Structure formats: structure tokens, C-alpha cells
């Protein structure tokens, strides 16, 4: 360690705290990438890099790859290694809502291809890494330039219902990925060396100095950005970033200070998450997120790969109209009441999805219904156009209430409202979110 300031345990501790908060999104991302793109023995393996895996059905409680998954828009996921050359992503023309979001290794978004941003026409887009210097202007409808050499692509495509599955599968099959050389019909460049991928074992890595071993590996795919140069420099003084970090080689007092920093970072993250703030600032491009790494870390923990507010506006109810929290369907029954003229203003669609707590995953229920929205068939509206959704564990006896039933687990839960393509009244606050009412 060449920096005299880092001899001070308090400075080492604070550096470790900042680095843990900054780096936790990278590890959260690797936690998903490793089984999907690296570990071919894992059932979640998508086929390696450059391969789409399509989920042709809505998510169910058996799917645990993502936190708070959408039940409206089946996913298409892929991972790209951009070290050797860029990749070309092609999409077909479609009238249905879709978005293919490309994110960096730290979960910051590189760009979006889809209904809101690029329209409904067919298109061809280049996804290039930080070291690409070629001419990418000709022949593409857009170029997405990543800041990291490993990126993820997570697509969402609207599914109207079981009868829509064949058309959805046909559309998903037309999401195409090819290396640039294959697209151009030229000789491919030399392949990048195969990394020695660290095995992701369990989340306990986040509590130990093994966190910095994994971070050290991932930083090899992440060139230093100007805004993060100071933190990266201080990490380098601790030996993190060169690809050979070994905690056992550090003095005992340095290791102790780093462990205290990890504990501090975890406490700051827990305190921020416990505030129950709206998630609108958790997700976005690097420009949108800025230096608010704590918000990004909360987003990676609470709802990894959520989208920025202009794409999908979302919020959840953590308390009822009496202030009781958490919501608990073992103790009460609830209604979510949208007055006449106050349904969520959406350019594309809206939905309310039920999640069990504390893991924010879908909960098993006998109806097999995990969300309700404006596209749900058979909903019963009031004569004035109002809509009352019923949130409880048992099926209501009355037919009208059963039609509007969103089954809840027999315990703590939360519900998330998603507005796909929110209209201005949602974004500027003119539209008022209704309360969740405790009925008995």
C-alpha cells in the first residue's frame, strides 16, 4: 500500500464501506450472470454468451432468478462478451409492447430498444464495448456503447394471455444476436481469453473479504470511469482491481478495518432499504443514476433490473390505510379502490402484482393468478367506471369480488403497481395513487 492515508484504519474502513456500496450491484449482477451464462450445469444456464433464453410463459413462484419479477411481460435474457468485437441485435416489427434493455456490469443501463424508444418497426442495433474503435454508423438503426466489456440484455414482451403464447413465441424467436463479423460476413477477430470464472456459492460472500475477491475479478471487465477514478485508486492501494487480490496477504489490522467497512456498508444499505422509498430513482442510465451508488445498490437488492421511470413507473404498498405494516393476509382482507376516472394513465398497459415478503417473489395460489391489470379479462367495474380489486388469501364467495380477486399469501405481502409507458399525469404527480384499504 503506497498511499500513507490508507495506513489509517478509519480511512481503510471508509474506503471499504464506499467500495462495498459501489460494488454490491456488480456482485448482484454476477450472481445472476454466473448461473445463466457461465455454469453449464445449472438449470438456469441460457447457453453461454450471445444466446437468448426466452421465457415463453409468465413468471411463476418457481422462478427465482429475478427479484419482484413482472407477471405481465415474459422475459428474454442474454449476456454478451464484448471484448473481441461488438454484437448485433435485430428485432422484428410488432404492434405489442416490448423493451430490450441493455445494462452494464454494474446494472447501469446502456440503452433501450423497444416500443417507447425506437418504435414498433423492425430494426438492427450495434452493441459495442468500451474499447471498440471501428466505424459503426452505416447499416444500423442505432449504436449502444457500453462502459463495461460484459453486458446483459433483458427483454420484456407483453403477453395477452394463454391463447397468445404461440404468437409470443414466434416473436421472441425473431430477437436475433450475432457477432459483428458474422453480420458483416468477415473474418472474426481473435477470441478473447477465457476467464477463470469464480464460482458463485451463496450470498454469504457479501459479508466477508471474499466480496473483494469477486469485485477484484469483475473490475477486470470494467475500465476506470472519470467519476469513479478516486475510489478505484483507493481500491488499488488495497490491492483490489489488478485481478490477483488475496485477503490473506493483507496485515491483520487492514483486514479488520475492511471487515468493519463491509459491516458499515451493509448497515447503510439496510437503513436505506428500510425507508420504503419509491423505487423511481433506483434504476436508470449512468447519467440518470449519477453518483448515487446507494440507491443503485438498493435497486440491485430490491428489484434487480428494474427499468427507469419513463419506461415503467412502479410503486408498491407497504402499509394499509390505517398505517399497519407489513400487509398481512393472515390477519386481514384488503381492497385497492380506483375511483372513476382515476385508473392509472398508461400509454401501453398497467398492472398490479402480488409478492410475498420478505423475498419479494411470487406466491403460490390456487387460482394461478399473480397480477391484475387493464388487460385482465372478466374484471367487474362499477357503473361509474371505478374498479375495486380484492386482495386476500381466500377466494371471495361473491362472483363479482372473485372476478377482481388478486390472491395473497397467508402472511406478509406487498403489491406493486406498474404503469408501462406512464403518461405525464403519472410522472408529474397529478395522478394520485389510491390507498390500500383494510376491510376487516
pLDDT by residue for the chain (440 residues), tens only, comes to 444 445 689 999 999 999 999 999 999 999 999 999 999 999 889 999 999 999 756 566 666 566 667 778 989 999 999 999 999 999 999 999 999 999 999 999 999 999 999 999 999 999 999 999 877 667 899 999 999 999 999 999 998 877 888 999 999 999 999 999 999 999 999 999 999 999 998 888 999 999 999 999 999 999 999 999 999 999 999 999 999 999 999 999 999 999 999 999 999 999 998 886 555 678 899 999 999 999 999 988 876 788 899 999 988 888 899 999 899 999 899 999 999 999 999 999 999 999 999 888 888 888 888 889 998 889 999 999 999 999 999 999 999 999 999 999 999 999 999 999 999 999 999 999 998 999 87
Which grid coordinates belong to 217?
Answer: 475479478
Per-residue pLDDT at 2: 44
Q: Cis omega before residue 130 (within 30°)?
A: no
- Residue 358 CB coordination number (10 Å): 9
Which grid coordinates belong to 416?
Answer: 406493486
Contact 413, 363 (CB under 8 A): yes
Distance (Å, rounded) from C-alpha 391 to C-alpha 327? 10
Report how far apart, in Å, the C-alpha atoms of 28 and of each of 284, 324, 366 are. Answer: 16, 31, 32
Residues facing 350 on adjacent strands: 419
Which grid coordinates belong to 273?
Answer: 432499504
Which grid coordinates belong to 265?
Answer: 456498508
Per-residue pLDDT at 148: 98
Per-residue pLDDT at 310: 93
| SS3 (DSSP) at 216 | helix
- Give me the sheet containing 436-438, strands edge to edge: 405-407, 387-392, 334-338, 436-438
Compute the Cα dihedral for 230, 112, 298, 428 and give only its sign.
Answer: positive
Report how far apart, in Å, the C-alpha atoms of 108 and of each of 90, 198, 288, 289 are. Answer: 22, 22, 9, 8
Amino acid at each position: 500500500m503506497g498511499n500513507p492515508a490508507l495506513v489509517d484504519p478509519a480511512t481503510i474502513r471508509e474506503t471499504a464501506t464506499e467500495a462495498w456500496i459501489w460494488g454490491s450491484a456488480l456482485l448482484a449482477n454476477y450472481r445472476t450472470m454466473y448461473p445463466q451464462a457461465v455454469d453449464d450445469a445449472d438449470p438456469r444456464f441460457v447457453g453461454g454468451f450471445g444466446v437468448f433464453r426466452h421465457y415463453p410463459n409468465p413468471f411463476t413462484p418457481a422462478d427465482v432468478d429475478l427479484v419482484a419479477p413482472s407477471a405481465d411481460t415474459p422475459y428474454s435474457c442474454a449476456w454478451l462478451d464484448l471484448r473481441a468485437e461488438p454484437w448485433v441485435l435485430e428485432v422484428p416489427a410488432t404492434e405489442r409492447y416490448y423493451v430490450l434493455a441493455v445494462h452494464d456490469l454494474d446494472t447501469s443501463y446502456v440503452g433501450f430498444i423497444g416500443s417507447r424508444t425506437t418504435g414498433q418497426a423492425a430494426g438492427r442495433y450495434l452493441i459495442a464495448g468500451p474499447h471498440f474503435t471501428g466505424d459503426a454508423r452505416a447499416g444500423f438503426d442505432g449504436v449502444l456503447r457500453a462502459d463495461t466489456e460484459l453486458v446483459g440484455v433483458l427483454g420484456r414482451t407483453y403477453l395477452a394471455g394463454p391463447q397468445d403464447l404461440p404468437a409470443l413465441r414466434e416473436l421472441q424467436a425473431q430477437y436475433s444476436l450475432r457477432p459483428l463479423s458474422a453480420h458483416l460476413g468477415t473474418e472474426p477477430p481473435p477470441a478473447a481469453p477465457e476467464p477463470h470464472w469464480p464460482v458463485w456459492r451463496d450470498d454469504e460472500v457479501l459479508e466477508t473479504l471474499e466480496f473483494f475477491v469477486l469485485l477484484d475479478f469483475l473490475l477486470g471487465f470494467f475500465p476506470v470511469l472519470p467519476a469513479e477514478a478516486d475510489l478505484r485508486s483507493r481500491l488499488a492501494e488495497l490491492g483490489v482491481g489488478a485481478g490477483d487480490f488475496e485477503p490473506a496477504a493483507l496485515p491483520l489490522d487492514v483486514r479488520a478495518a475492511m471487515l468493519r467497512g463491509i459491516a458499515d456498508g451493509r448497515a447503510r444499505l439496510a437503513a436505506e432499504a428500510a425507508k420504503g422509498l419509491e423505487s423511481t430513482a433506483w434504476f436508470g442510465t449512468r447519467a440518470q443514476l449519477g453518483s448515487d451508488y446507494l440507491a443503485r445498490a438498493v435497486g440491485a437488492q430490491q428489484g434487480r433490473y428494474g427499468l427507469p421511470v419513463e419506461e415503467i413507473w412502479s410503486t408498491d404498498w407497504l402499509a394499509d390505510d390505517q398505517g399497519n405494516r407489513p400487509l398481512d393476509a393472515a390477519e386481514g382482507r384488503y381492497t385497492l379502490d380506483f375511483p372513476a376516472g382515476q385508473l392509472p394513465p398508461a400509454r401501453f398497459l398497467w398492472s398490479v402484482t402480488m409478492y410475498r415478503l420478505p423475498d419479494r417473489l411470487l406466491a403460490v395460489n390456487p387460482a394461478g393468478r399473480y397480477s391484475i391489470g387493464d388487460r385482465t379479462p372478466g374484471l367487474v367495474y362499477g357503473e361509474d367506471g371505478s374498479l375495486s380489486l380484492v386482495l386476500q388469501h381466500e377466494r371471495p364467495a361473491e362472483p363479482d369480488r372473485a372476478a377482481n380477486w388478486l390472491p395473497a399469501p397467508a402472511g406478509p405481502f406487498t403489491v406493486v403497481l406498474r404503469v408501462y409507458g406512464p403518461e405525464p399525469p403519472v410522472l408529474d404527480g397529478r395522478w394520485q395513487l389510491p390507498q390500500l384499504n383494510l376491510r376487516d
